[in-house]
Amino acid sequence: MAKIGINIKQGKIELPKVIVGIDLGTTNSLIAYVPNSEKSDVCGVESIKREPRIIPVRGQGLVPSVVYFDEHGSPSVGHYAKSKIAQEPERTIFSVKRLLGKSYKDLADKADYVGYKIIDSDSTSEAMVKIEIDGKFYNPIELSFLILKEIKTQAEKELSVHIEQAVITVPAYFNDSQRQATRDAGKLAGLDVLRIINEPTAASIAYGIAEKKSGNVLVYDLGGGTFDVSILTLEEGVFEVLATHGNTYLGGDDLDRSIAEFWLKKHQLTSNQLSKTELQMLRMIAEEAKIYLSQDEIWGHAEAQFEQVFQCVNINLTLTLSVSELQNTVAPLIGETLKSVHKALSDAELKPDQIDEVVLVGGSTRYPGVMQALMPIFPHVFINNRINPDEVVALGAAIEADVLAGNRSDVLLLDVTPLSLGIETAGGLMDVLIPRNSKIPTRLAREYTTSVDGQVNLKVSVFQGERELVGENRKLGEFILKGIPAMPAWLPKIQIQFALNPDGILKVAAKELRSGVEQEVEIQPTYGLTDSQVEEMLLAGFQNAQSDIELRLNQETINEGNQMVYTAERFIEKNGQHLSAEEIAGSKQRIEDLRCLLNDKADRNSINKQIELLNDYTRPFAERVMDIAIGQALKGKTLD
């Protein structure tokens, strides 16, 4: 690929800047851009065209979204990391995107599927999930940052440019927590994330659907780890998502898993009999079988067969799979995607014949059974898969980035809010409810709770800005929600709602959902800010992104540690009669060890380790006390 020309100014080499589009995928990630100009010769007439391109990373377009940590804790990302999945499964993290914005409670029943260790981070199982490798703890934001850093750094080398700004795509069903986690990962990688856009919107832009001016589009996106179907309406180049439905745990990986389970059942084995390495090897062979049987020249022969010898549990197994067996094995999963298609149609209040275009996205749509299943539902529509399904989202994101750079106007953008809006949470952190560049009008809500028993008032402080700590942002106002009924800590359910109207007026409402106590204020977020001040705030957010994220991660760990100390002490105080003297002493010692680390401002890995030690120690008798409470409740009694 040709390099972009450099500039020489006052004796210094200045690399040009490029705005890129990034598809941060579950299985693979890609980065793309639109060159400034590209000459073509058609019928002897020279013309200039602007087409998006995938930027090769270490010579390849697809970058496996896999992170491997060696014995020294040094990370590797991409194809080399993927090669370690079977060799060192406990050090190799894949499907990071499935972890974003999730707690251990969300993932507990799926933890056995991976070789790495997913940590139950606290007693409530509500905090962000963590991965432990050699006593060090990593959360999904940090892991996503490593993937983004790799593709950004290598793309800069490939093009000889600086990359500071990006458009990053997410599934349409991603909630605010998952979108904010994606944005944080971008900031940590040194990227000013201009916009988070939905993957189906990006795919539609790449297909040039905007040129059709109006119509209804159904985007069927089956990737490696996630599935979603989105229905968009297009009017004068503006996309609006009418409905979306999907499953964050349904993708090509799950097709592979169903094949692996088919083989285990066929050979009368269970996953518990295989080592983590053997399980990952079996999964990779299943992927090979799926790809082999999905070839056009093979698919039409029902009894065509894949065969491979696999050594596990000290025996050699001959793994065979025919086309018909593949179809039967994955049919239930394809059936689940069709349920989502019908649900999205229903939610959009549309019938199949009202869909003007069906677009296939995601590498797993190469499985011919997808097209075979969709054709009877949409017999009137050509199902569009002419663009590489792995690349289409990144290409669309690059076009959106080109729009934001002011280079094209064929895709219209809605008005957006210039700076992020949020509230102050424990430790002086900024919790963003409405990210900057969100289209307006918009309305978002999030639930919070109290941290102290009997708390009856809650101060809500509203801030604007791009820094992780509220002290570095602009305070817009505050109010106190009074009259919350006295309840134990974490029991109240307090919903904070931000509503931003087309004029930029922000209404903030707080309501305790159990009692109905509520209050509302109106704020003018942009009052008193000039364009240059907005630019200064954006620049400060970008320049301090990495240090701010580090401060945020440290503060969140401290908050979690303080919560654990409070919870454990209250538990012992209330249930001491059900614990032995040894259990009480052991708990108090571990509580004190954690408190000392917090007071000494220890590093977050040390604090995380002590949280885990306290959690592991108290879990057995906490479960025992819970059993006693349930037993007494069934008898009409309560614990003292």
Q: What is the CATH number of the domain that holds 475?
A: 2.60.34.10
362 shares its domain with 429: no
Confidence of residue 492 (pLDDT cuts 50, 70, 90): confident
Tokens of 489: 């800590």
What's the domain count of the chain? 4
222 shares its domain with 124: no
Strand order across the beta sheet in which 130-133 lies: 117-119, 130-133, 136-138
Structural domain includes residue 640 = no
345 shares its domain with 393: no
Tokens of 415: 């008005």
Whole-number pLDDT of residue 40:
46
- Domain final position from 410, 445, 465: 410
330 shares its domain with 434: no
What residue type is assigned to position 630 of the chain? Answer: I
Whole-number pLDDT of residue 633:
60
Whole-number pLDDT of residue 194:
85
The closest of 70, 69, 73 to 94, measured between CA atoms, is: 69
The closest of 24, 23, 25, 27 to 256, measured between CA atoms, is: 27
CATH number of the CATH domain containing 21: 3.30.420.40
pLDDT digits (tens, 9 = 90+) for 550-594: 888 888 888 888 888 988 888 888 888 888 999 899 999 999 999
Catalytic residue among 82, 84, 97, 290: 97
Measured torsion, CA atoms of residues 32, 34, 37, 39, in degrees rounded to the nearest 10:
60
pLDDT digits (tens, 9 = 90+) for 514-532: 888 888 877 654 434 454 5
Confidence of residue 263 (pLDDT cuts 50, 70, 90): very high
26 shares its domain with 122: yes
Structural domain includes residue 542 = no
Residue 351 has pLDDT above 80, yes or no: yes
Active site residue 265: no
The closest of 174, 197, 168 to 24, measured between CA atoms, is: 168
Outline where 226-367 has alpha helix (H): 252-266, 276-293, 296-299, 323-347
CATH number of the CATH domain containing 605: 1.20.1270.10
251 shares its domain with 163: no
304 shares its domain with 381: yes
Structural domain includes residue 197 = yes
Structural domain includes residue 416 = no
Confidence of residue 237 (pLDDT cuts 50, 70, 90): low
Whole-number pLDDT of residue 1:
53
Structural domain includes residue 443 = yes
Tell me what percent of the residues of the chain surpass a pLDDT of 90.
35
- Domain final position from 505, 537, 569: 537
Structural domain includes residue 415 = no
- Domain final position from 509, 537, 565: 537
353 shares its domain with 216: yes
Catalytic residue among 120, 122, 192, 199: 199
244 shares its domain with 355: yes
181 shares its domain with 284: no
Q: Which domain holds residue 501?
A: 421-537
d(CA 262, CA 283): 11
Catalytic residue among 142, 221, 400, 424: 221
Rounded to an integer, the average pLDDT of 160-178 is 83
Active site residue 126: no
d(CA 221, CA 490): 38
577 shares its domain with 588: yes
Structural domain includes residue 258 = yes
Active site residue 592: no
Q: For the chain, what's the residue count?
A: 640
Confidence of residue 410 (pLDDT cuts 50, 70, 90): low
The residues, any chain, with a CB within 8 Å of residue 345's CB and separated by 6 or more, are 218, 231, 243, 351, 352, 355
Whole-number pLDDT of residue 590:
92
Task: Provide the greatest CA pair distance for the chain.
Answer: 91
Q: Is the pTM of this model over 0.95?
A: no
DSSP state of 71: T
Structural domain includes residue 552 = yes
200 shares its domain with 253: no
Tokens of 348: 């959009």
Active site residue 228: no
